Amino acid sequence: MAVESPLYLDACAAAPPAEPVIAAMLAAYQGAWANPSSLHGFGFEAADCLERSRQAIAAALGFPASWLTFCSGGTEASHGALLGAASQLPQGRLVISAIEHPAVQAAAHQLEARGWELAIWPVDGVGRVDMAWLDRLLAPPTRLVSVLWGQSEVGTLQPIETIGAACRRAGVLFHSDAVQVVGHQPLAIEALPVDLLTFTAHKIQGPRGIGALVARPDLALGAWIGGGGQEAGRRGGTEAVALAAGFAAAIELAQARLQDAGGHDPLQPLRDRLLAALEPLAGVSLSGCRQRRLPHHLSVVLTTPSGTPLPGRQLVSGLWQRGLAVSSGTACARGQASGSPVLRAMGYPPGLAGSGLRLSLGPWLTASQRDSLPERVSAALGAVQAELG
Q: Which residues are catalytic?
A: 332
What are the two backbone dihedrals, phi and then psi, of residue 102, each rounded to the nearest 5 degrees? -55, -25
Closer CB to ligand PLP, 45 or 76, in the complex: 76
What's the rounded Cα separation, in Å, for the pair 236 and 179?
22
- The least CB distance from residue 16 to ligand PLP, in Å, is 15
Per-residue burial over 312-343, b if 16 or more Cβ lie within 10 Å, else e, is: beebbebbeebebebbbbbeeeeeeeebbbbb
**Applying CB under 6 A, does 332 fall inside the site for ligand PLP?**
yes
**Applying CB under 6 A, does 73 fall inside the site for ligand PLP?**
yes
- The least CB distance from residue 200 to ligand PLP, in Å, is 3
**Applying CB under 6 A, does 158 fall inside the site for ligand PLP?**
no
Tell which positions 125-154 bind ligand PLP, by CB under 6 A. 148, 152
Could you give the residue ranges of the DSSP H alpha helices within 298-340? 312-321
Tell me which residue of 138, 187, 198 sits closest to 162, measured CA to CA: 138
Per CB under 6 A, the segment of 16-24, 71-79, 80-88, 222-230 that binds ligand PLP is 71-79
Closer CB to ligand PLP, 358 or 376, in the complex: 358
What's the rounded Cα separation, in Å, for the pair 134 and 385?
41
Closer CB to ligand PLP, 54 or 202, in the complex: 202
Closer CB to ligand PLP, 85 or 342, in the complex: 342
**Applying CB under 6 A, does 103 fall inside the site for ligand PLP?**
yes
Closer CB to ligand PLP, 295 or 309, in the complex: 295
**Applying CB under 6 A, does 74 fall inside the site for ligand PLP?**
yes
Tell me which residue of 169, 170, 161, 376 sits closest to 178, measured CA to CA: 161
What's the rounded Cα separation, in Å, for the pair 181 and 184?
6
**Applying CB under 6 A, does 75 fall inside the site for ligand PLP?**
yes
213 secondary structure, DSSP code:
E
Task: Give Cβ neighbours of residue 18 (< 8 Å, ≥ 6 apart).
Answer: 205, 206, 249, 250, 253
Per CB under 6 A, the segment of 229-237, 240-248, 328-336, 337-345 that binds ligand PLP is 328-336
**Applying CB under 6 A, does 187 fall inside the site for ligand PLP?**
no
Interaction site with ligand PLP (CB under 6 A): 73-75, 101, 103, 148, 152, 177, 179-180, 200, 202, 211, 330-332
